[in-house]
Amino acid sequence: MSERNNFIDYIRIFCRSGHGGAGARHFMRNKLTAKGGPDGGDGGRGGHIILKGNAQLWTLLHLRYYKNVHAEDGEGGSKNNCTGKDGKDIIIEVPLGTIAKDEETGKVEAEILTDGQEVIFLKGGRGGLGNSNFATPTNQVPEHAQPGEEGLEGWKQIELKVLADVGLVGFPNAGKSTLLSVITAAKPKIANYAFTTLTPQLGMVAYRDNRSFCIADLPGIIEGAAEGKGLGHRFLRHIERNAVLLFLIPADSNDHKKEFEILKNELAEFNPELLQKEFIIAISKSDLLDDELTEAIKKELPSNIPHIFISSATQKNLVELKDLLWAALNKPITV
C-alpha cells in the first residue's frame, strides 16, 4: 500500500449509541403473596461510544472501513427489582491529536490529546425506571414504568491534527524531507519534484542530555493553499497544533523575503491565530552560498524573526538549529 493510502487523517462514520432498556411493570406474586407490591426493576443503560487516545497510533487507517458504529442497547428491567444489564460500550482507539465533529453542525464534540484519555463521544440512553419507583402512600400499585431513553445518532467526522512540537513549513523542494531525515530517525521519501511529501512525516529529534522533541515535515504548500488548491486544507490543518513553525527557504530561491511572505500569508488566510506562533527561518542548501551572498540574503530577511543558514548535505549549523528550536520551545510564557 502506498504512503498516500497508509496515512488517513480524515474519516466520516455513522454512530449510534445504545437505547436504554425499559423499566419493568411487575407486581410481586408467589405462593405466600397473591397481590404483592410493585417490584419492577429499572432498565439498563444503553452502550456509550467512547473515543480513547492511543500513543502507538499515527493514522486513522484502522477506521477506514469502520463506517457504522452501533453500540448495544440496554436490557429491560425485570421482576424482583432486578435491573437490566447495561449495553456494552464501544471504544474507538484514535491517535493523539484527534478531534471529532458533528457533521451537521460542525461543532467539535471531542478532542483527544493524551495517551489513555477517554471521552464519551455519544452517550447511551438512560434506562427507564421500573414501577417500584413510583409507589406512593396514595398509589401503592403503580401501573406506570418508564421506557428507556433513545440513544444518540448521527454522521461524525474524525480528523487527525498531527501533534508535533515543530512544524516544517516551506514550498515543495525546500529541503524539508532531507532535513528531517538528517536530524531525526524518520525516513521520508526524498525526490526532486513537487509534492513528494503527500502526508505529514514525524520524527523525534534527539537533543542534549537525553531530551528530545518532535518535528513534522508537513506537505509542501503552494500559493492558494488556503483556498484548497494543491493539498490545501488537508495540510494546513496539521500546522494548527505546532508550537514553533520553522520556515525553510532554499538558498537558491529568487526572492527569499517574498517566499516567506507568501508562506506566512497562506497561514494567515487559513487561520490568523497561526501568526501568534513562534517563527524561525532557516535558509536551506546554504552550502551553495559564499559570504557575500549570505550577507545579501540576511539583509532581505525580517529583522524581528530569528534566522539561521543550514545545509543538510554538509551538516552545517544543524546543532545550532536544534539549539534554536529547543530555546523557542522552552521559552518562558509571559503573561
Q: What pLDDT is attached to residue 123?
A: 94
**Residue 237 — very low, low, confident or very high, per pLDDT cuts 50/70/90?**
low
Q: Which residue has the higher pLDDT, 100 or 97?
A: 100
* Helical pair 256-270 and 291-300, crossing angle rounded to 10 deg: 40
Mean pLDDT of 229-249: 65
User: CA 309 to CA 294: how far, in whole Å?
Assistant: 8
Phi, psi of 263 (to 5 degrees): -60, -45
Asked if 15 and 69 count as a contact pair (C-beta separation under 8 A), the reply is yes
Question: Rounded to two decimals, what is the model's pTM?
Answer: 0.57
**Domain range annotation of the chain:** 1-160, 166-329
Mean pLDDT of 135-162: 85
Residue 60 half-sphere exposure toward CB, CA atoms < 13 A: 24
Fold entry, domain 166-329: Rossmann fold (3.40.50)
Asked if 121 and 100 count as a contact pair (C-beta separation under 8 A), the reply is yes
Q: How far is CA 227 from CA 10, 138, 232, 275, in A?
A: 18, 68, 7, 18
Using a pLDDT cut of 70, give the percent of the chain over it. Answer: 80
- Please give the grid coordinates belonging to residue 106: 460542525
Mean pLDDT of 6-23: 85
**Residue 121 — very low, low, confident or very high, per pLDDT cuts 50/70/90?**
very high
Asked if 226 and 266 count as a contact pair (C-beta separation under 8 A), the reply is yes
Q: Which residue has the higher pLDDT, 140 or 200?
A: 140
Give residues with Cβ within 8 angstroms of 104, minimum separation 6. 154, 155
- What integer best gives the mean pLDDT of the chain? 79
Q: What pLDDT is attached to residue 282?
A: 92
Q: What pLDDT is attached to residue 234?
A: 53
What string of DSSP letters covers 24-79? P--B---SS-SS--B-PPPPPPPPPEEEEE-TT---SGGGTT--EEEPPPPPPPBT
Q: Which of 186-195, 225-234, 292-301 has the lowest average pLDDT?
A: 186-195
| One-letter amino acid of 91 | I
Q: What pLDDT is attached to residue 193?
A: 36
Task: Classify residue 154 by burial, with Cβ atoms within 10 Å: 0-12, 13-18, 19+.
Answer: middle
Q: What pLDDT is attached to residue 97?
A: 80
Domains 1-160 and 166-329 share a fold: no
Asked if 307 and 298 count as a contact pair (C-beta separation under 8 A), the reply is yes
Helix (H) or strand (E) holding 292: helix 291-300
Mean pLDDT of 54-71: 82
pLDDT at 167 over 90: no
If DSSP codes are grouped into helix, strand and coil, which group holds residue 273? helix
Mean pLDDT of 304-332: 86
Q: What pLDDT is attached to residue 65?
A: 78
Mean pLDDT of 120-125: 94
pLDDT tens readout for residues 259-291? 899 888 877 776 777 788 889 999 988 888 888
Q: Which of 46-60, 190-204, 268-282 has the lowest average pLDDT?
A: 190-204
Q: What pLDDT is attached to residue 172?
A: 76
Q: What pLDDT is attached to residue 251?
A: 87
pLDDT at 224 over 60: no
1-160 maps to which CATH number? 2.70.210.12
> What are 289's strand-pairing partners?
none
**Residue 202 — very low, low, confident or very high, per pLDDT cuts 50/70/90?**
low
User: CA 157 to CA 138: how far, in whole Å?
Assistant: 51
Q: What pLDDT is attached to residue 122?
A: 93
Mean pLDDT of 31-60: 85
